[in-house]
Amino acid sequence: MTLEPVPDQEHRPFGGDDLPESRRALESALQEAKRVVVGQDALLERLLLAVLVGGHVLLEGVPGLAKTLTVKTLSQVVGGRFGRVQFTPDLVPADLVGTRIWRPDSSTFQTELGPVFANLLLADEINRAPAKVQSALLEVMQEHQVTIGGETHVVPEPFLVLATQNPIESEGTYPLPEAQLDRFLFKVLVDYPSPGEEAAVVGRVVSGLPDARQVLELEDLNRFAGAAREVLVDREVVGYAVRLADATRRPSRHGLDELEPLIAFGSSPRGPIGLVQAAQALAMLRGRGHVVTGDVRDLAHDVLRHRIVLSYDALADGVTTDDILDRVLATVPAHGAAAA
């Protein structure tokens, strides 16, 4: 496989003082959020990367792991408008995007916009809502606008959807189809805190959680997002991201014959695109003006785990997509030409 140069990347300098200023400001935002949220450092970093890239995040974890608190705290730190929708089986699309209401006093219809008109929207337990509601949310995720009564309404920018799923219950749920899952940049698995972190959580709750201060403006985020897009990406890094995705589709081409019967469908092209874009933001957060393959490796699980469809054999054997990605990352070389 011959890779073409990334357009305008190889000879475009990173913008002057943007890198140190962006890094300092973003680190300050993370530190402020960590004053409130304990034990979810990786989650906070992924959410901030998603804001910079303009991608959406699917969070999966059992109840009580501070998913809602984390999202709300981040919105307070960056100065955005926070919205929350609790998804239930009786929800209808109008509850989400809005509707037109008849006003008898003026004999006119008035548009009432729904809770999706926020900068950070928490869609709690998205798999509890039926397909029509899920589709309405995923449409605004893609288009950043909704149409009500023939009028188009644009959501505020930046716009980020953080949807949660509860993995321990299946009754009364409507799993997201694979094509809809593909629209999320990250799928982050939220795990239990360590005993030390949990003790700190209990202590903070007993003594009273501190209020998060706003340390950024939305205009700053838009500027930093532009700076992230200026981070240099070498062709070798692009090639590595593409090889990782290709290994989930055609594993035998990469010496992974044992994975062939375990994978029904591999990652779509959104996988390597999201990997490279998120790696640019991560490199900037780490103080570099260029992406290295280590940035791609660190993000591979979160970007690719929800884009792999397992076969019945894999499900029967208890194989997970993370197991697949562990083998792919251990086998696919970070440097060199792709398999013929």
So what's the pLDDT on residue 90? 86
So what's the pLDDT on residue 18? 63
**Cβ-based neighbours of 165, under 8 Å, separated by 6 or more:** 58, 59, 60, 125, 126, 127, 176
| pTM for this predicted structure | 0.84
> Among residues 111, 121, 112, 150, which one has the least CA distance to residue 51?
121
State the Cα–Cα distance between residues 193 and 48, nearest whole angstrom.
20
Looking at the predicted structure, is the pLDDT value of residue 209 above 80? Answer: no
So what's the pLDDT on residue 340? 32
CATH for 21-216? 3.40.50.300
* pLDDT tens string 254-271: 999 999 999 999 999 999
Sign of CA dihedral 313, 315, 316, 318: positive
* pLDDT tens string 190-207: 888 778 877 887 887 787
Do the Cβ atoms of 276 and 232 come closer than 8 Å? no
Q: How sure is the predictor about 173, in pLDDT bands with cuts at 50, 70 and 90?
A: low
pLDDT higher for 281 or 91? 281
pLDDT higher for 16 or 77? 77
* pLDDT tens string 48-61: 999 999 899 998 88
Judge residue 257's burial from the number of C-beta atoms within 10 Å of its C-beta, 0-12 exposed, 13-18 middle, 19 or more buried: exposed
So what's the pLDDT on residue 11? 38
Do the Cβ atoms of 274 and 55 come closer than 8 Å? yes
Mean pLDDT over 275-304 rounds to 93
The domain 231-340 is classified under which CATH number: 1.10.1040.10, 3.30.470.20, 1.10.8.80, 3.30.420.40? 1.10.8.80
* pLDDT tens string 101-133: 877 877 777 777 888 888 888 888 888 888 888
pLDDT higher for 143 or 21? 143
Q: Where are the domains of the chain?
A: 21-216, 231-340
- Quickly tell me which residue has 């989930």 as its tokens: 248
So what's the pLDDT on residue 336? 59
> Among residues 23, 39, 56, 35, which one has the least CA distance to residue 216?
23
Looking at the predicted structure, is the pLDDT value of residue 338 above 70? Answer: no
Instruction: Give the number of C-alpha atoms closer than 13 A to the C-alpha of residue 247, restricted to the C-beta side.
Output: 28
Looking at the predicted structure, is the pLDDT value of residue 309 above 60? Answer: yes
So what's the pLDDT on residue 145? 86
